[in-house]
Chains A and B, each alone.
Chain A
Amino acid sequence: MANVSIRSLNKYYDNGFHAVKDVSLEIPDKAFVVLVGPSGCGKTTTLRMLAGLEEISSGEIFIGTERVNDLPPMDRNIAMVFQNYALYPHKTVFDNMAFGLQMRKYQKEEIRKRVGEAAEILGIEALLERKPRQLSGGQRQRVAVGRAIVRHPQVFLFDEPLSNLDAKLRVQMRVELKRLHERLETTAVYVTHDQVEAMTLGDRVVVMKDGRVQQVGAPLELYGRPANRFVAGFIGSPAMNFVNVSVTGAGDALWAEAEGLRVKIPSQFAGRIAHKRLTLGVRPEALRLANGVDDYSFATEVDVVEPLGNEILLNFRAGGVPMVARVDPGTHVAAHDAVRFALDPARLHFFDAETEAAL
């Protein structure tokens, strides 16, 4: 059990590429922290530096109270689950799980006990004598997790562990990992590019882009109050709609205007507007079909209807860009219908068009 502290971490590769830029993170004991971002954002590199598989260019990493910068991977008391599972192909499932304990010279009895416990938790007791190539993808995944938990490490590291599984199994394993974490109460750092995985698994989610941390927070915090346009667009599916608008003053109110769209800017934003150019962000569920004309509605034509069963996605163009609205399954709208949408003024986001920071 330990907290992890990452301070001003940087990684430069030999070719000069600056992969991780000044990352600082405080991960409390027993937390489940997810690093999420598009590929090349530095999340895996950060994890590998934490594991000791990648050299640290500058900055410090503490696990518990110990500075681990110069410790080899074996002395950091961590366990890692890899994307391709990295099971030892020539060893049985039992030996795969026992290897780390054997290397640390545990007694045979203790090894058998711990492997047995882990196998029971993961439901793989029947597979212990098999070789990895005789296992299905989901079973290999379980063995890889089992190999990590037998050691009772201070920190679990997961590097996209579910991305090689098919969609259905991924959803199932996601829930199992969450349960496992509740049960083991060990600090976990999890890397993924899948925002749904990040939101469902993490107590805290760290969104990264181009080597920098964009925002750290609880899942709903990221969803409700994204710090910038990137986080707003990355979290949530379908993604937030963005329209570039210009600010005009009329009377005592400010208006955001784009082609075919004129929306009043709620008063709480008024004091924070520095430019004439803003980006308006609206989540698909903050749009509904309007009953009449008001300050937050606009007319358009629906071009594609996606009936998903539990909801209907309406695609249309407004402000010169394609947008999506998420409406009730009972809504009767057909393609090419002329409609009027209303925005929920409490759920509007405005971003500075230059810095992309949220207002």
Chain B
Amino acid sequence: MLIERKWKKWLYFYLPVAAFIVFTLFPFYWMAVTAFRPDAELYATWRQPNAAPLWTLHPTFEHVVGLMKTTAFPTWLWNTMAIAIVSTGISLVCGTFAGYALARLRFRGSEFLGTAIFITYLVPQTLLFIPLADIVRDFQLGNTPWALMLTYPTFLIPFCTWLLMGYFKTIPKELEECARIDGATRFGAMVRIILPVAIPGILSAGIFAFTLSWNEFIYALIFMSSAERKTVPVGVVSELIRGDIFFWGQLMAGALLGSVPVALVYSFFVEYYVTGLTGSVKG
């Protein structure tokens, strides 16, 4: 290893990594460039003199300003944020208890229940929205944030339960046995010992759930009808594509601003997130 030639490391490591990074980040880059490109440049052909297809010569905020003025984008952001936070919160609470119970308590049918919860996660949303639409209408929740806050957990809870169940199983059961000998009830041992230890797992379940509900499209499209109730993914697509006209600049500005919060959440918790997925607790 020590006397391995440098070019080998370049060829087998840096080059593939660079290619991979370019490949994954290019759409994001294209979105950012388009958001700040003036219309004149946006619709010019590549063959015209001074064309700069991969960057912009006259960066502008006109699309961002346009997005804020002509659409309800700030409201969409707010809607999306509120819905994602509430549905993530509900799902984490339910998922934590369910995951703990499935991982630790021995009761009749616990394995069947675990599998059943997993299977509900596999039912595609494109089928599930039909009965859900009926229920949402019966409870007169249509076009209110509650329609999404309460339907998102239908796929978030199974997801969180399954992820947290796996995480709880990696925590040595001696920890809570010791706590119970030390004087805690089972619930006390869970709250005081197991939950603090499980924070990386709970955080990564939370980040995943938050991202899933932030990006959710089909329920938001169907249960929300008025423009000011929409979430970012639906709002941007439905209000900035009018007929066959694509407002590319504003679309991309909306997409860029919409993805920033998720990127921020990820970058804050990335360390927890990694230990959460690899699930290692060392006494």
Contact surface of A with B, Cβ cutoff 8 Å: 14, 51-53, 72-74, 76, 78-80, 82-90, 99-100, 103-104, 132-133, 140, 147, 151
> 4 nearest interchain CB pairs?
A103-B183, A100-B182, A86-B174, A86-B178
Q: How many residues of B contact A (CB 8 A)?
A: 20
Docked-complex contact A86 and B184, CB < 8 angstroms: no
Known: A53-B180, A85-B283, A99-B179. A74 touches B196 (CB 8 A): no
A-B residue pairs in contact (CB < 8 Å), sample of 27:
A51-B181, A52-B181, A73-B180, A73-B181, A74-B181, A74-B185, A76-B181, A78-B181, A80-B177, A80-B178, A80-B181, A82-B177, A82-B178, A84-B172, A84-B174, A86-B175, A86-B283, A87-B283, A88-B178, A88-B193, A88-B197, A89-B282, A90-B197, A100-B182, A104-B183, A133-B282, A147-B182
Residues of B within 8 A of A82 (CB): 174, 177-178
Q: What distance in Å separates the Cβ of B180 from its nearest Cβ neighbour in chain A?
A: 5
Known pairs A80-B177, A104-B183 / 20 extra A-B pairs, C-beta < 8 Å:
A52-B180, A52-B181, A53-B181, A72-B185, A74-B180, A80-B181, A82-B174, A83-B174, A84-B172, A84-B283, A86-B172, A86-B175, A86-B177, A86-B178, A88-B193, A89-B197, A89-B283, A90-B196, A103-B183, A140-B283
Contact yes or no, A73 B283, CB < 8 A: no
Task: Provide the residues of chain A in CB contact with B218, threshold 8 Å.
Answer: none
Does more than half of chain A's interface fall in helix, strand or loop, or is it mixed? loop
Interface centre among B174, B177, B178 (most CB of A within 10 A): B178
Question: What per-residue 1/0 map shows which CB atoms of B17-46 lie under 8 Å from chain A?
Answer: 000000000000000000000000000000
B93 at the interface (CB under 8 A from A): no
Nearest Cβ distance between residue A226 and chain B, in whole angstroms?
34
Which residues from B are CB-within-8-Å of A78?
181
| A199-B91 Cα distance, complex, nearest whole Å | 54
Contacts of B184 in A (CB 8 A): 74, 103
State in angstroms the CA–CA spacing of A64 and B282 once bound together.
37
Question: What is the distance, in angstroms, from A161's C-beta to the closest C-beta of chain B?
Answer: 12
B43 to chain A, nearest CB (A): 57
A87 CA to B283 CA, complexed, in Å: 6
Q: Does B274 interact with chain A (Cβ within 8 Å)?
A: no
Q: B281 within 8 Å of A by Cβ? A: yes
Q: CA–CA, A72 to B184, complex, Å?
A: 10
Chain B residue contacts of A72, Cβ below 8 A: 180, 185
Closest to A82 in B: B174
B159 to chain A, nearest CB (A): 25
Residues of B within 8 A of A103 (CB): 182-184, 188
Most buried by A among B172, B179, B182, B281: B182
Nearest residue in A to B175 (C-beta to C-beta)?
A86
CA distance A212 to B227 in the complex (A): 75
Q: Which residue of A lies closest to B182 (CB)?
A: A100
Q: Are B282 and A79 in contact (CB under 8 A)?
A: no
In the assembled complex, which residues on chain A have CB atoms less than 8 Å from the CB atom of B281?
89
Cα A80 to Cα B173 in complex, Å, equals 14
